[in-house]
Structure 1
Amino acid sequence: MKLAGAASIAGLAGCLEGDDENGEEADGENTIVAGTAPGFPPFQMVEDGELIGFDIDLLEAVVDETEYELAEWEQLEFDSLIPALENENIDVIAAAMTISEERQEQIAFSDPYYSADQSILVQSGGDFQPESLDDFDGQTVGAQSGTTGETVVRDDLIEAGIVDEDDYTSFDNYVLAVEDLESGLIDAVVLDEPVAATFEAERDVEVAFVYETGEEYGFGIRQEDEDLQAALSDGVAAVEESSEYEEITSTWFGE
């Protein structure tokens, strides 16, 4: 379930010596390092030691439309991506990151490349089958730290007085959250709709309902890197206008 261009961790590490695919010396100014946070299928994950996913294939296709060269992928926890970008340890974030006003105070984004809402994931056939957030009274819930799912929990459940702070568990990634859901340690998980669909197809969980947030994902860039921001936005447009975006989407979402 991956394109031929999916990123091999070992293979990309070999690019660090400064050579491009043709063995020619790469322009250091145009060489960029991407950061992502595995554990968010089908956007980014590691299988058999290989970094794969929608974001991986899409960013590589987008960069191919620019004068930049993608030298390396760094794997980090989601909460560590923006600090790593600001510290110049990476140059672009490709991690299904929602464009928000709060994040735009720290970083810039490319034009959007994907739209999504939030899903409420519960145990398949379990006792807790909510139809709205109001049904969460007295229930335990989980989400991944730093994500829109966590924002929904904090703003629309905890701040609204529906869920107690003590009944919320923050996870480093959604794989851990879904494992606790399957084990009955929590009653529900709030996460991005396409990711929830992937877990629903592969694990003993199901989507109870979709909570509309109208969010859009973008590639994160430092605010001062205006040339890279423009190049990635142009690259997103070029890939979307070609058949490549549809091919990548079909590979990872079957759409």
Structure 2
Amino acid sequence: MKTLLLAFIALTLTTPLALAKDTKPLRVAMDVPYAPFGERGPDGKLVGFEVDLGNAMCQEITGQECDWVVQAWDGIIPGLLARKYDLIVSSMSITEERRNAVLFSEPYYTTPSLFFTRAESDFDQANTSDTRIGVQRGTNQERYVAEMHPDAKVIRYTTTDDMYLDLTGERLDAVFLDAPVGIKWGKDDPKVVQHGDFIKEPARIFGQGVGVAMRKRDKELAEKVNAALDKLKNNGVYDDIMNKYFDFDIKL
């Protein structure tokens, strides 16, 4: 009887510890559409590079895929700070300004930015006076155009879909955004073409790569996120996901 009692006590003491491992899904915010990083598929479900990578990361941490929350870009950090979700996985560049508000993981990808125009456009980066350039509000690209092309007319958008419609509808002369987004436009629509070379500098604007954002107090979560991303990069899962969406290496 004494032996059975001791065994029961030991079981009740150890079982809660065994269940203490993360099992609750992580709520993860993303701004869509931002193909090929994230968009809604024909069935309404989220698809894209960051969706696949985020789900793989969440699986490593909790054993479940992410609980995705669609959030407009200009409210995505306020939503995190208001505890509407746990993480942001949405092509957020790591900049000093953002570090003042959130805690970042190690960077998990980097891509350059590009100007895109219509095929017949005479857009000239060296002379943008009175040129209509579309950017997404709150992005590094918005800051770059505002600083480097102060003579241009900067048109700010909430979504990249609206930028695409205004570019192809001849209401913009050019757009400036993450290169893979515009490259996908060009693959789907020959009217959209790349203009000029990749732009990655200055670092004070474009940051040090893209990271997962968390609240500053969530240091333990950040350790788990970094460990999961590191494992995915080392076991080949990251490369498999990357090669599904890109023709070039974006891994840091």
CA distance in 2, matches of 1:125, 1:248: 35
Normalised TM-score (structure 1): 0.81
Q: How does 1:154-233 map to 2 (within 5 A)?
A: 154-158=146-150, 162-163=151-152, 167-203=153-189, 204-209=191-196, 210-213=198-201, 215=206, 216-233=209-226
Shift of 1:146: 1.0
CA distance in 2, matches of 1:110, 1:39: 23
Go from structure 1 to structure 2 and tell me whether the alpha carbon gap of 1:28 and 1:242 turns closer, same or farther (over 3 Å shift). closer
Shift of 1:68: 6.5
Look up the SS of the partner of 1:122 in the other structure.
strand
What count of residue pairs does the alignment treat as equivalent? 222
Normalised TM-score (structure 2): 0.82
CA distance in 2, matches of 1:71, 1:240: 19
State whether residues 57 and 225 of structure 2, in contact with CA within 8 Å, keep that contact through their aligned partners in structure 1: yes
State whether residues 117 and 195 of structure 2, in contact with CA within 8 Å, keep that contact through their aligned partners in structure 1: yes
State whether residues 34 and 70 of structure 1, in contact with CA within 8 Å, keep that contact through their aligned partners in structure 2: no
Shift of 1:242: 1.4
Shift of 1:212: 2.2
CA distance in 2, matches of 1:66, 1:180: 41
Does 2:245 correspond to 1:252?
Answer: yes
CA distance in 2, matches of 1:135, 1:44: 33
Does 2:27 correspond to 1:65?
Answer: no
CA distance in 2, matches of 1:197, 1:222: 33
Go from structure 1 to structure 2 and tell me whether the alpha carbon gap of 1:70 and 1:85 turns closer, same or farther (over 3 Å shift). farther
Q: How does 1:27-106 map to 2 (within 5 A)?
A: 30-48=24-42, 49-67=44-62, 69-106=64-101
Shift of 1:254: 3.6
1:120 to 110, 115, 134: 115
Go from structure 1 to structure 2 and tell me whether the alpha carbon gap of 1:26 and 1:33 turns closer, same or farther (over 3 Å shift). farther
CA distance in 1, matches of 2:22, 2:242: 31
Q: Alpha-carbon deviations, 1:121-167, whole Å to 9, x = none?
A: 10012232x3x4x3212211110111111111122222xxx32xxx2
Aligned-residue RMSD, C-alpha: 1.9
Shift of 1:80: 1.3
CA distance in 2, matches of 1:43, 1:168: 24
After the TM superposition, list the runs of 4 or more consecutive aligned residues in structure 1 that deviate by more than 3 angstroms: 25-31, 67-71
Go from structure 1 to structure 2 and tell me whether the alpha carbon gap of 1:26 and 1:122 turns closer, same or farther (over 3 Å shift). farther
* Structure 2 equivalent of residue 22 of structure 1: none
Look up the SS of the partner of 2:200 in the other structure.
strand
* Structure 2 equivalent of residue 153 of structure 1: 145
More strand by share: 1
- Which amino acid in the other structure matches residue 190 of structure 1? F
Go from structure 1 to structure 2 and tell me whether the alpha carbon gap of 1:225 and 1:30 turns closer, same or farther (over 3 Å shift). farther
Q: Percent identity?
A: 24
Go from structure 1 to structure 2 and tell me whether the alpha carbon gap of 1:45 and 1:227 turns closer, same or farther (over 3 Å shift). same
Mind listing any 5+ residue stretches in structure 1 that lack a counterpart?
1-24
Mind listing any 5+ residue stretches in structure 2 that lack a counterpart?
1-18
Q: Alpha-carbon deviations, 1:148-188, whole Å to 9, x = none?
A: 11111122222xxx32xxx2111111111011011110101
Shift of 1:85: 0.4
Shift of 1:218: 0.6
Go from structure 1 to structure 2 and tell me whether the alpha carbon gap of 1:122 and 1:26 turns closer, same or farther (over 3 Å shift). farther
